[in-house]
Amino acid sequence: MLPSKNHPLPTRRQFLATTAAATLLPRLVQARLPDETTPKYLSGYSKLYANDPRAAAKAWFADAGFGLFMHYGIASLLGRGEWVQYREAIPLSEYESLKDRFVADRFDADFITDMALEAGMKYVNLTTRHHDSFCLFESKLSDYSSVESPAKRDLVGELAEQCHAKGLGVFFYYSYALDWRHPYFYPRSYYPIARPAYKQPEPRYQFANDDDFQRYIDFVHGQIRELLTNYGPVAGMWFDPIMGYYAKPDLFPIDETYRLVRSLQPQTLISFKQGANGDEDFAAPERKGYSLADTVRQRCGDYSGDIAAKAWESNKDKHNEICDTMQPQAWGYNKKNDKQHLTAEQVVERLDSAASNRCNLLMNTGPLPDGSIHEADVRAFAKVGKLLATR
């Protein structure tokens, strides 16, 4: 049929939506059988991938240079950063009610991935679950998610589909070492950031002794299994926050966690800030990590002991990553910073500085409450792409 007023040619976005849906099932199978077909984002490393998927992924990462980070969730609705529940000690039941307002009607994975490609980025990293435990994916282990909210959408799935279709690597941020909602995460007496400083005891916090923590680990491992089974080839698992681990490292079976990731998808890279056991594929310190050695003690303080130093010794010579934000300080959307976002020129400066330290730059944008990208960041990323193209 020839295109007409009543039957126009499909738009690029419509075409991608239908083709992504049509190819989703084979991609899910591919996640379980990673040696059968090279993931699209690793297509230039297919020979290496056939022999050693992890080596291929590390080679790709060393060449990638630039990625997009996004902190999004129900905290975004308040516009005061992703730590708002903790900093303002918002009662758990009150904070949870934000789920009933979460619609994400302008979260557009097609637009986001096009924006990343235009900027010259090679991968995208989304907060699948932040410290408040709200998930942007469908989970059988939690109904505290975007799928069970008024949005009724699996945002992780939508982003993964677009990344697979366009050859971008998709990374999953996951709050491994902190959860302000799970009943069996450890208490403030172990480390203050473990729970908000509520004036009244939260009755749903049930941790009584260290043995209880295994229930939290079972939850985490179950969700990691879901993320690495249901969304096609995953470029990396990006764990956070390292301080929650350093405070009580004996509670976290870090070796077991890493083995689980690699058993499910051998090419999936692992990062945990500057490092937990040194077996990370890359370190990813925040902001001031352009002088990487200084970052370790600055970020770890008194809780690190020798863990950070030993882990960093194993990670410092790898090709690493610096993560930074387009707005000052907060990673999730903070309305008071609306006029203080980085310019394209400042982003390029950070990209060059990271590259001079053998690091990629993972630049974060905090989507607005409706899921759209801040206009200043859209403009800046478009200009970044143009500046890089002239080199």
Q: 10 Å Cβ neighbour count for 48?
A: 18
pLDDT-based confidence at 261, cuts 50/70/90?
Answer: very high
What's this model's pTM, rounded to 2 decimal places? 0.89
Q: What is the pLDDT of residues 13-23, one digit of tens each?
A: 443 444 443 34
Instruction: Compute the distance between CA of residue 280 and CA of residue 221 in angstroms, rounded to an integer.
Output: 17
For the chain, the domain total comes to 1
Is there a domain that residue 118 lies in?
yes
- The amino acid sitting at 156 is V
Is there a domain that residue 19 lies in?
no
The pLDDT, as a whole number, for residue 375 is 98
CA atoms within 13 A on the CB side of 343: 4
181 and 244 Cβ atoms separated by less than 8 Å = no
Contacts 24+ apart (CB under 8 A), 93-97: 95/132, 96/144, 96/181
Region 190-194: what's the mean pLDDT? 96
Is there a domain that residue 106 lies in?
yes
pLDDT-based confidence at 304, cuts 50/70/90?
Answer: low
Is there a domain that residue 20 lies in?
no
Region 321-344: what's the mean pLDDT? 96
Instruction: Compute the distance between CA of residue 361 and CA of residue 168 in angstroms, rounded to an integer.
Output: 15
Instruction: Compute the distance between CA of residue 352 and CA of residue 125 in angstroms, rounded to an integer.
Output: 20
Secondary structure of the chain as H, E, C letters? CCCCCCCCCCCHHHHHHHHHHHHHHHHHHHHHCCCCCCCHHHHHHHHHHHHCHHHHHHHHHHHHCEEEEECCCHHHHCCECCCHHHHCCCCHHHHHHHHHHCCCCCCCHHHHHHHHHHHCCCEEEEEEECCCCCECCCECCECCECCCCCCCCCHHHHHHHHHHHHCCEEEEEEECCCCCCCCCCCCCCCCHHHCCCCCCCCCCCCCCCHHHHHHHHHHHHHHHHHHCCCCCCCCEEEEECHHHHHHCHHHCCHHHHHHHHHHHCCCCEEEECECCCCCCCECCCEHHHHCHHHHHHHHHHHHCCCHHHHHHHHHCCCCEEEEEECCCCCCCCEHHHCCCCCCHHHHHHHHHHHHHCCEEEEEEECCCCCCCCCHHHHHHHHHHHHHHHCC
Sign of the C-alpha dihedral computed for residues 37, 38, 41 and 43 taken in this order: negative
The pLDDT, as a whole number, for residue 360 is 96
Two tokens, residue 225: 């299994």
Give the structural domain span for 330.
Answer: 62-389
Is there a domain that residue 22 lies in?
no
Q: What is the pLDDT of residues 32-86, one digit of tens each?
A: 344 458 999 999 999 999 999 999 999 999 999 999 999 999 999 999 999 999 9
Kindly tell me if the per-residue pLDDT of 8 is higher than 50: no
Q: Given the structure tokens 């010579």, which residue do they identify?
A: 317
Is there a domain that residue 83 lies in?
yes
Q: What is the pLDDT of residues 199-212, one digit of tens each?
A: 999 999 999 999 99
Instruction: Compute CA 293 distance to the chain's CA centroid, rounded to the nearest angstrom.
Output: 24
Instruction: Compute the distance between CA of residue 24 and CA of residue 379 in angstroms, rounded to an integer.
Output: 31
Burial letters for 217-250: b for 16+ Cβ neighbours within 10 Å, e otherwise? bebbbebbebbbebbbbbbbbbbbbbbbbbbbbe
Is there a domain that residue 94 lies in?
yes
Is there a domain that residue 3 lies in?
no
CATH number of the CATH domain containing 378: 3.20.20.80
Name the β-bridge partners of 238.
173, 271
Q: Given the structure tokens 């490393």, which residue do they identify?
A: 45
The pLDDT, as a whole number, for residue 23 is 40
